[in-house]
Structure 1
Amino acid sequence: MIILELFLCFVATATFGIIFNIPLRLLWWGGLIGVLAWFIYSTLPIYDFTDVFAAATAAFAAAFTSHWLAKWIRVPVTMFTIPGIIPLVPGGRAYSTMLAFVEEDYLQGLELGVETLLQAGSIAAGLVFALSIFSFGKGVGQRYETD
């Protein structure tokens, strides 16, 4: 069952890569990064980690792999990062949040809304943390001075 889930994740990630005009030679890499992210995100809750931590860890892994691969292949990192985090986006949870508000179940809507925002924030934090690792040492001290 997990093999089918990962295969469908690969197809969905590669499809989003096509939507974002990623070159065909890079679609495979983006799909594999998406599968890696989904595998981490779906595996960590089995070991009693929260969904927010799992999303942050999966986003970090996707971004770290994307940065490394972009340096290796010499392409922009967004070619891999954007499709790589697509499986993590909490779209279903956001839909459930809006549905709860429409059905006037405000407490459920607030609960789901907070969970959605926390998960989206953890994805952003994972991306930023990986970026900070790859940009370490590229600050002001690395610039050349012109005299």
Structure 2
Amino acid sequence: MIIELIVCFFATVSFGIIFSVPRNSLLLGGGIGSLAWAIYRLLPEYGVTSIFATSIASITAAMLAHFLARKYRIPATAFTIPGIIPLVPGSKAYYTMLAFVEGDYIGGLELGIVTMLQAGAIAAGIVFALAVFSFGKGIGHRYEGGR
């Protein structure tokens, strides 16, 4: 597990470089990605489904990203993008397409549904964190007719 986390950290930092994440947030983004991966890998050992583990890891990564974005005054996407990279179900998407190409339509559908649910869990986690951190921003600044 330790080797996985180290490799995950370097892979996350590498993707951060590819996506032009600011240098001062690369190491923190790598830490967020490693934490998200650890959550994703540990929760199924306690009986949690991989889709729910993905959503918990995504929520954790996005919440940390928004917190650090406020602390360091950097856009949240600088931390969110590297944080969710380890959770993206790329190999599952590949095996889904491979199953369809080989004519295993039922297996392809099963893998495709799991892939789409994991991608949806990532998106839901990001949206949930955004909703939490933007709650209350508009209070007191509403448009009140002609005043």
Give runs of aligned pairs for residues 36-55 of structure 1, distance below 5 A. Answer: 36-55=35-54
Q: C-alpha separation between the residues in 2 aligned to 1:103 and 1:12?
A: 31
Task: Answer yes or no: is 1:8 the counterpart of 2:7.
Answer: yes
CA drift of 1:142 comes to 2.9
TM-score normalised to structure 1 length: 0.95
Gaps of 5+ in 1: none
Match of 1:112 in 2: 111
Q: Following TM superposition, by how much is the alpha carbon of 1:23 offset from its aligned partner in structure 2, in angstroms?
A: 2.0
Matches within 5 A, 1:121-140: 121-139=120-138
2:64 corresponding residue in structure 1: 65
Q: How far did residue 144 of structure 1 move? A: 5.3
Q: Can you give the 5+ residue segments of structure 2 that lack an aligned partner in the other structure?
A: none
Runs ≥4 residues deviating over 3 A? none
Equivalent-residue separation in structure 2 for 1:64 and 1:144 (angstroms): 26
Q: Does 1:76 align with 2:43?
A: no
Return the offset for 1:26. 1.2
Paired amino acid for 2:125:
G
Counterpart amino acid of residue 134 in structure 1: F
TM-score with structure 2 length normalisation?
0.95
Identity over aligned residues, as a percent? 59
Name the aligned partner's letter for residue 141 of structure 2: R
Q: Cα RMSD (Å) of the superposition? A: 1.1
Aligned length: 145
Q: Which amino acid counterpart does residue 143 of structure 1 have in structure 2?
A: H
